[in-house]
Amino acid sequence: IEVSEITPLGNGNVRVAGVARDNNTVQSIVIAGVTLSFIPQAEQPFNSDVPTSETMEIVVTDSAGNAASQPLQ
């Protein structure tokens, strides 16, 4: 998981951008509880506006069910 941008938007949301990579297929990306829609592939860019919360994280799951998470700060 490579997060390249976390930008406060001033309306209780933040913009989170970056890329998730896997040696097989990125199956799902969840940012601060918001599931992103995309066609599964090995490298998936993301750019999403999500609500700000105290414990924000991004969770990426691959096609084998392995999950990796990273706190957003």
For the chain (73 residues), the mean pLDDT of every run of 10, in chain order, is 92 94 95 93 95 90 95 86
DSSP string for residues in 19-73: EEEEEEEEEEEEETTEEPP---EEEEEEEEEEE--SS-EEEEEETTS-EEEEE--
- Other C-beta atoms within 10 Å of 57: how many? 15
Structure tokens belonging to residue 57: 């994280």
Q: pLDDT value at position 73?
A: 76
Q: What is the pLDDT of residue 55?
A: 80
pTM above 0.75, yes or no: yes
Residue 34, pLDDT score: 92
